[in-house]
Amino acid sequence: MIRKLFALAGISAALVLAGCNTVRGVGEDVESVANAGDEVI
């Protein structure tokens, strides 16, 4: 039972960290598009 809880906690932590990296990556992409638009104008 405890082994399953540790496995679930590890999987949950991995998913949360992956989600944070994805959100940060999207934010950086949007920022780079905005900066490119400013340079064109």
Mean pLDDT by 10 residues, the chain (41 residues): 84 74 73 72 56
- Residue 30: its pLDDT value, please? 76
CA atoms within 13 A on the CB side of 29: 6
- The structure's pTM equals 0.48
Whole-angstrom distance, CA of residue 23 vs CA of residue 25: 5
CA atoms within 13 A on the CB side of 20: 6
- Residue 41: its pLDDT value, please? 56
Pure H helices in 1-41: 2-40
- Residue 12: its pLDDT value, please? 81
